[in-house]
Amino acid sequence: MTVQAALPATMQAMALDGFAGPGSIRLRELPVPVAQAGEVLVKVAAVGVNPADWKACAGFLPFLPVSWLPLVPGFDGTGTVVSLGEDVTQLKIGDRVAFMSGLPLGRGGTWSEYAICPAGLAACLPDALSFTAAATIPVAGISPREALDQGGLKAGEQVLINGGSGGTGIWAIQIARNAGAQVAATAGPANQDLLNILGVARPIDYRNEDVAARVADWAPGGVDLLLDTVGQGSLGDPAALIRPGGRYVAIETMLPDETTPGSDAFDAKGIRAIRASASFPRLGAHLAALVDAVASGKMQVPPVEIMPLADAAKAMGRVRDGHVRGKIVLTVQEDQEGAANAPATVKDFA
């Protein structure tokens, strides 16, 4: 039997009525979803805005069919558990959580007052971690953690992270450094301070510096691992930056016109090329580890720009156009619990 607190019948949600881009999203009144077996219902407080969100709106994600319209986007969020489906024992009503949504399973996303979450994809938050800060963690943190794991990152290796000032890049830098790697990273001139704050050994201004020359000066034989969080041919010849036998790991962009590096250059140097995407069975473990790292002070959440849920289309457009410093978070409910003792973000150390 489903266990739940008293709930309204309907909710406010930002929902898509088509796949024509951010302009397809608008405020709607929809039924509050019901938690099924193995699921929980979360009263949403805040949600991260991720590249996957505008790609969903543009129809680039094949696992989101037209038959699901109207569709609430949003792959992650934070909030309070208000209903338990059958067989859920690891969570209880009232738990504050960061979570991954049931959107890929046809259960709707997080850009709404209430959202469904598979129970295994939620991590309980300590009281000192605010909903807004925690909303920067799930997709942006899990993606590079999985990618670096697939790339076989080892302590002592030299790692280049392409795109170090966005939400994914900031988490990637911290994950690699916590694993004992030495890190170089690219960012624009306005974000070189951020790379220094994060302890990047070789910050690179990709607009005003020769990336290849800067990497060669730091790692004369090439880096052991290159993590590309940007794609779209932004590095030119990535094979030239990697040592023979090294690894190139690109986070899957799902863009139909994605530029992929030539395999001949990789083959000539024995470089292993990996296109990393989410591993559903590991999502929960990755999220729990990241929350623990923030709670213990081993990692800091990215700089946060807060926008109201009503500005979802504008936020998606900003992320689509790139060059967001840190993370945009949409607030759904007022964040009171945990806000007073929110952890420092990297901007607090500038």
- List, in sequence order, the alpha helices (H) in 81-210: 131-134, 138-150, 167-178, 192-197
16 and 124 share a domain? yes
Residue 81 forms part of a structural domain: yes
Residue 289 lies in a domain: no
Asked whether residue 294 is domain-assigned, the answer is: no
Question: Does 291 fall in a domain?
Answer: no
Q: Where among 259, 276, 293 does a domain terminate?
A: 276
CATH code (residue 200): 3.40.50.720
Question: CB–CB of 169/194 below 8 Å?
Answer: no
Taking a C-beta distance cutoff of 8 angstroms, is the pair 32, 11 a contact?
Answer: yes
Q: Give the model's pLDDT for residue 258.
A: 55
* Residue 323, pLDDT score: 76
Q: Are residues 193 and 153 in the same domain?
A: yes
- The list of the chain residues with pLDDT below 50 reads 336-344, 348-350
Assess if residue 250 is contained within a domain.
yes
221 & 337 share domain: no
Phi, psi of 45 (to 5 degrees): -105, -45
φ and ψ at 197, to 5 degrees?
-60, -35
Asked if the peptide bond before residue 22 counts as cis, ω within 30 degrees of 0, the response is: no
Q: 248 and 323 share a domain?
A: no
Distance in angstroms (rounded) separating the CA atoms of residues 57 and 52: 9
What is the token pair recorded at 241? 């930056």
pTM of the full structure = 0.91
Detail the DSSP E strand segments found in the chain: 3-4, 10-16, 25-31, 39-48, 76-84, 96-100, 114-118, 122-124, 158-162, 182-187, 202-205, 223-228, 242-251, 272-276, 304-308, 327-331
- Are residues 146 and 270 located together in one domain of the fold? yes
Provide the CATH number for the domain around residue 77: 3.90.180.10
Tell me, yes or no, whether 120 and 156 share the same domain: no
Do residue 343 and residue 262 come from a single domain? no
In a domain, 290, yes or no: no
Q: Tell me the one-letter amino acid at 227.
A: L
pLDDT of residue 105: 86
- Statement to judge: residues 33 and 93 lie in one domain: yes
Residue 44, both tokens: 């949403």
Q: What is the pLDDT of residue 61?
A: 62
**pLDDT tens across 222-239, in order?**
999 999 998 766 788 999
* 17 in any annotated domain: yes
Evaluate whether 193 touches 166 at the Cβ level (below 8 Å). Answer: no
Final residue belonging to a domain, choices 223, 258, 276: 276
- Same domain (yes/no): 266, 310: no
Tell me the angle at which helices 138-150 and 283-295 cross, rounded to the nearest 10 degrees: 110
Residue 65 CB partners (closer than 8 Å, separation 6+): none
Q: Name the domain boundary from 258, 276, 294.
A: 276
Closest by CA to 60, choosing from 282, 311, 320, 263, is 320
Domain assignment present for residue 216? The answer is yes
Which residues make Cβ contacts (< 8 Å) with residue 62, sequence separation at least 6? none
Same domain, 64 and 187: no
What is the domain count for the chain? 2
Looking at the chain, list the stretches that DSSP marks H as alpha helix, in order from N- to C-terminal side.
51-57, 131-134, 138-150, 167-178, 192-197, 211-218, 263-269, 283-295, 312-321
111 and 169 share one domain = no
What is the length of the chain? 350
Q: Domain containing 17: what range? A: 3-136+302-349
- Closest alpha carbon to 145 in 273, 299, 260: 299
Residue 333 in tokens: 């409910």
**Secondary structure (3-state) at 225:** strand
Query: Comparing C-alpha atoms, which of 146, 152, 185, 93 is closest to residue 290?
Result: 146
175 shares a domain with 130: no
Measured between alpha carbons, how far is 98 from 109 in angstroms, rounded to an integer? 14
